[in-house]
Every structure is written in C-alpha cells, then in structure tokens.
Chains A and B, each alone.
Chain A
Amino acid sequence: RKEVEQDPGPFNVPEGATVAFNCTYSNSASQSFFWYRQDCRKEPKLLMSVYSSGNEDGRFTAQLNRASQYISLLIRDSKLSDSATYLCVVNPGNTGKLIFGQGTTLQVKP
C-alpha cells in the first residue's frame, strides 16, 4: 500500500464547476498535511496547509479527518487557470521529509 494515495484522474470539468479531490495516508502518526499544485514540467508550489479544523482560502477548502486518515480539497467556481496536478503531501514525522501522493490531474474546460 502506498503511503499517500490519490486518484490520478484526470478530472475534466467545465468552468464554474465544483470539484473535490480525496487523499488517504497510511501513517497514523503523520503530523502535517499539505496540498501542492504542480503545473506541467514545473516545480510544486504550496497551495495550502491542511488543519484538523478545516481551512478555507478563497475558492479552495481543505479538510482533514485524522480518524479516517483522509484529506480532501474542494475547489469551487473552477477557473481555466486551475488546470494542473494537485499533490497531496504528508509529513509523517519530525524528520522534515515529505511524502507525495501521485497527484490528481484537473483539466478545466471552457
């Protein structure tokens, strides 16, 4: 079993749609969680950290369920510029290492 699992997609949605991505992680002791965005042939960029209480940043909402070891990302009112690969990332401990999911590809179409 992979340490961080995501549905690779692709998710093809029209502009304005709401789309949700899910991610599960295997290490129950994991301490911090992130969503990163990666554009084609570029480095990952932090989209948002994920907190137990859930957090929102504009059109983006992240949720964490520690009991189920599950993380989600909700994107509302999708824009063409949201097209990218979204990486679920987990820090399993104090070493600073990050474990990346395979990524979920989103394609927003006009």
Chain B
Amino acid sequence: GAVVSQHPSRVICKSGTSVKIECRSLDFQATTMFWYRQFPKQSLMLMATSNEGSKATYEQGVEKDKFLINHASLTLSTLTVTSAHPEDSSFYICSARWDPYYGYTFGSGTRLTVV
C-alpha cells in the first residue's frame, strides 16, 4: 500500500518549452504532497508543499511563476516547469505522507533534461 505514481520518468525538452510532471497517490488520499529537486551528488531539496484545493507553499528561492503546482484532487498533484532552461535539468521527486509514524512515500522521480 501507500503507492505514489509519478510520470513521466524521463523527459527531454527544448529550452523555452514547458513540462508537466504528475504525481498520483494510488491507494490513499494525499491532502498534502511535497515536491523535491535533486541535482547530481546533492541532497533532495524541498521546492514546495502542495495542498489540495489551495495554493502551494514555496520554499525560499523557488520561483512560483516558474514552477507551477496544481493539487486539484486528493490523489493528484502536478508540477509544471515553465519556460524550461538547461539549469532546470534535474531529478524531480514528489512525496506524500501516508502515516505519521512510518514516514513518507515517494514517487519514482522524473529526470528532466533541457537541451
């Protein structure tokens, strides 16, 4: 149980285009999802907290107009990287908490390459 499905797993796009990444909780309701980014040989950095039915909360230094988050239902959150640039190339991972004691479950990640 507690599966989060993330798509696509890998995407290559041209500079200036937008990319949408989806995360779905398959067997539980996720009122809150978290979006992380991980650059090579670095740790996961929280970008934003996605709340169902309300605006996302962004971490300091993350441009909310560039990284659009929509959490329209209890099972789906999307991250759209708008006007992507090569420096946006990274590993993007979503996460949701399914139990307060046993931690969080993560999507399988999306490797974005902007050329």
Contacts and interface: CB of A to CB of B under 8 A. Distances in A.
Main secondary structure on chain B at its contact with chain A? strand
A1 interface: no
18 contacts: A32-B100, A34-B103, A41-B111, A43-B106, A43-B107, A43-B109, A44-B44, A44-B93, A44-B106, A46-B102, A89-B103, A96-B32, A97-B46, A98-B34, A100-B45, A101-B43, A102-B42, A102-B43
Nearest to A4: B43
Given A46-B103, A49-B101, A49-B102, A41 B43 contact: no
A21 to B, nearest CB: 14
A96 B108 CA distance: 20
Interface residues of A, number: 21
Given A32-B100, A43-B106, 11 more contacts: A32-B101, A41-B111, A42-B108, A43-B93, A43-B109, A45-B106, A49-B102, A49-B103, A96-B97, A98-B44, A100-B43
